[in-house]
Structure 1
Amino acid sequence: MDYHALKEDIIEYSKTIGIDKIGFTSASTFEEMKVRLITQQKLNYQSGFEEKDIEKRVNPSLLLDKPKSIISIALAYPSKMKERVVSKKGERRGIFCRASWGTDYHIVLKDRLKKLEDYIQERIPDALCKSMVDTGELVDRAVAQRAGIGWSGKNCAIITPEFGSYVYLGEMITNLPLEPDTPMEDQCGTCNKCIDVCPTGALIQGGQLNAQRCIAFQTQTKGFLAEEFREKLGNRIYGCDTCQTVCPKNKGMDFHNHPEMEPDPEIAKPLLQPLLFISNKEFKEKYGHISGSWRGKKPIQRNAIIALAHFKEEGAIGDLITVMKKDPRPVIRGTAAWALGKIGGDESMTALQTANQQEEDQEVLQEIEDALQRLSHSL
């Protein structure tokens, strides 16, 4: 078998199925990444969403019998909306991060990888392939870096010369001995913009992230959000793009290569108040196809309440009072109480005083008392 010719054929075929960039690397262990992951674990910098077995994250031979190569793919996604909607008084809007615009990227990349697998197995029926996207065992960025897709930036994203860091990554382990590509040299240089502007200081140093402090991670948690993170959330209801938007390598990068990735502005930047009362069925119908829905509606609703407080949206006071009184979930009731304390006003004060006499959950009571104290000081 002429594996050099096969590699060229795979590259050409990838272009016909909507893969924007493809790279190849060996299936040897990712030793440098192993050291990083052990350090992350010791420092408790992991998010908890990752595969917990570090060996599986760095050793392809634990995932496929006698692997020889890994194929890395990248698909560019949009950084700007073609149609814009404006957040204004009385109609405040939240924002999903760009990586959650359009159809869930797991679905899109798995489709491309399946087509690539089928193509390879048509050519070589006994070829073994194992594909994964994000939630798989391997570290997508480590594979993409070694396969020459881009370099690992100080913002912990893969940055490509062609598309910046606005790319989704996926990979396929195979037992075919395909020639590896050359890794790309780091091009961040002395630039530290992403580290300097990270809202919570989650980027400890170039290439090291404390996921526990990352706004993107915090938007996906389900409990009460710590006070310091509430203040930093702004109108983000899922994810955070700050370390990408400030990156000079992303200047002017905006690609609309894939129709399924195009954002619906009403979903990517939704009105906040309707989110407070959305049912599970409505949430699944409207948001179920995007990656930002994977944790369910509760974190999105909590974040929407915080965003209304960020805007000091007085028009939302009535809705927030209803939520504080009637929502069955303590986290949502307590966050609504906090928001009323931030927005202020006599109506908020009266509602909080009433709730203080009726609420039974201790955490919610604490939020109510803190909100009342805040209002008393402001008056």
Structure 2
Amino acid sequence: MNHALKERIIAQSKQLGIDKIGFTDASSFEHLKDSLEEQKAAGHTTGFEHPVIEERLYPEKIFDQPQSIISIALAYPTKIKEKPDIVRGERRGSFARASWGVDYHNVLRDRMNKLMAFIKEIAEDEAALTFKPMVDTGELIDVAVAQRAGLGFIGKNGLLITEEFGSYVYLGEIITNIPFEPDTPIENQCGTCTKCIDACPTGALLGDGRMNAQLCLSYQTQTRGMMPEAFRPKIRTVIYGCDICQQVCPFNKGKDAHFHAEMEPDPEVVTPLLKPLLTISNKEFKHKFGYLAGSWRGKKPIQRNAIIALGNARQKSALPDLLKVIEEDPRPDIRATAVWSVGEIVGSKGNPELEAFFNTLLTTTEAPEIIDEINKVIKKLH
């Protein structure tokens, strides 16, 4: 079953910058069907997932005569080698580790393209070979493929955990019509540990490897519009993603891989000063942040999250900037978020000038989200 070819692929994968590789057959993932349907019915999905459940479970529905799936993993850094400059009186936000460096979708595609080119080069009957590469935007469930291919096990936080790199890995997979001997799946090793479940600030983890993704802070930082008030204090000064369930995982202790130049974080980019984000232009945003995975939803969610982060940091020097946003920004949800942030910074102390400013604003605005946030702040000031 192409044993020699498989061994050559494994050997070459290391030369191509692939940190782990595994093989599984192309049989269905039907055992996940009930779970996916339950999650969808319960409203626990985000809408970012592939919408057709059948295509997530049955490789033959998305590929002609599939025989095997090759799963790959690339390890990413968890620590920044050089700290950003300290700017006195200014707070910084942060992007989660999975958004450090070049967008991982592009890095994985590069490695998979090189791997497919190598296979075509050495395999017999090249013309008959077919491949379908994908990352987490594709149909299949990458952690399920990787677990079955022996790369690691799925933890209680729903992430793939590898022996060498913990859960700090990016995953990709290639469906092919080449039959390979499958590797041995790895069973869950979490045991009685519940650290990730206990540490999740919103209770998003359900305890069995699934989550209510609507409650996940990573999802909340990627939404557009108003972030529900209950989540705002919980993101602290993180403006994209969430690492908490990974940081507390015992399997991640001491893991910090620096194997790929594209993944090395620029400290000024992944821990940016917050105030400049309030007025950054689209052109400036694309130039500075466009290569990050965390830029995929555009500038607006990052700006909104930066405004929330300033409120959580109680950064008083940002008050003039936030008041300017409230007066001048054309987007009601951004203005309303700035009102909330001002309220967090000022607190419950009386402030006649600020109260007068908001009362005047009430007479000139019709946006319900702005009115709602103003009324809450005025109540707090009283």
Quickly name the TM-score band, shorter chain normalised: over 0.9
Q: Where does residue 121 of structure 2 map in the other structure?
A: 122
Deviation string, structure 1 residues 180-212 (Cα, Å, up to 9, x no partner): 000112111110000001010000223010000
Q: Please give the alpha-carbon distance, in whole angstroms, between the structure 2 residues aligned to 1:188 and 1:259.
A: 32
User: Which is worse superposed, 99-108 or 84-93?
Assistant: 84-93
Q: Where does residue 58 of structure 1 map in the other structure?
A: 57
1:190 counterpart = 2:196? no
Q: Where does residue 271 of structure 1 map in the other structure?
A: 273
**Runs of 4+, deviation exceeding 4 Å:** 86-89
TM (norm. structure 1) is 0.97
Contact 1:31 1:58 in 2 (8 A): yes
Residue identity matched to 1:150: G
List runs of 5+ in structure 2 lacking aligned partners.
none
Q: Please give the alpha-carbon distance, in whole angstroms, between the structure 1 residues aligned to 2:274 and 2:206.
A: 32
- How far 1:366 moved relative to its partner? 1.2
Residue identity matched to 1:128: T
1:374 counterpart = 2:376? no
- How far 1:351 moved relative to its partner? 3.1
Q: Please give the alpha-carbon distance, in whole angstroms, between the structure 1 residues aligned to 2:107 and 2:357.
A: 47
Residue identity matched to 1:62: K
Q: Please give the alpha-carbon distance, in whole angstroms, between the structure 2 residues aligned to 1:350 and 1:211.
A: 40
The alpha-carbon distance between structure 1 residues 244 and 198, as it changes in their structure 2 partners (threshold 3 A), is same
SS of structure 2 residue aligned to 1:205: coil
Contact 1:341 1:348 in 2 (8 A): no
Q: Where does residue 94 of structure 2 map in the other structure?
A: 95
- How far 1:270 moved relative to its partner? 0.5
SS of structure 2 residue aligned to 1:168: strand
- How far 1:152 moved relative to its partner? 0.1
Q: Percent identity?
A: 58
The alpha-carbon distance between structure 1 residues 131 and 283, as it changes in their structure 2 partners (threshold 3 A), is same
Contact 1:148 1:184 in 2 (8 A): yes
Q: Please give the alpha-carbon distance, in whole angstroms, between the structure 1 residues aligned to 2:267 and 2:285.
A: 16
- How far 1:89 moved relative to its partner? 6.0
The alpha-carbon distance between structure 1 residues 193 and 25, as it changes in their structure 2 partners (threshold 3 A), is same
List runs of 5+ in structure 1 lacking aligned partners.
none
Deviation string, structure 1 residues 19-42 (Cα, Å, up to 9, x no partner): 000000010000222222111111
Q: Please give the alpha-carbon distance, in whole angstroms, between the structure 2 residues aligned to 1:236 and 1:139.
A: 27
- How far 1:146 moved relative to its partner? 0.4
SS of structure 2 residue aligned to 1:93: coil
Q: Please give the alpha-carbon distance, in whole angstroms, between the structure 1 residues aligned to 2:201 and 2:88.
A: 25
Q: Please give the alpha-carbon distance, in whole angstroms, between the structure 2 residues aligned to 1:351 and 1:96.
A: 34
- Identify the match of residue 282 of structure 2 among 280, 283, 297: 280
1:8 counterpart = 2:10? no
Deviation string, structure 1 residues 70-99 (Cα, Å, up to 9, x no partner): 000000000010011377762101110000
SS of structure 2 residue aligned to 1:184: coil
- Identify the match of residue 357 of structure 2 among 329, 351, 362: 351
1:294 counterpart = 2:296? yes
1:193-272 correspondence runs (5 A):
193-272=195-274
Contact 1:302 1:332 in 2 (8 A): yes
- How far 1:5 moved relative to its partner? 0.2
The alpha-carbon distance between structure 1 residues 150 and 348, as it changes in their structure 2 partners (threshold 3 A), is farther
SS of structure 2 residue aligned to 1:28: coil
1:98-177 correspondence runs (5 A):
98-124=97-123, 125=126, 126-177=128-179
Contact 1:87 1:93 in 2 (8 A): no
TM (norm. structure 2) is 0.96
Q: Where does residue 28 of structure 2 map in the other structure?
A: 29
Q: What is the aligned residue count?
A: 375
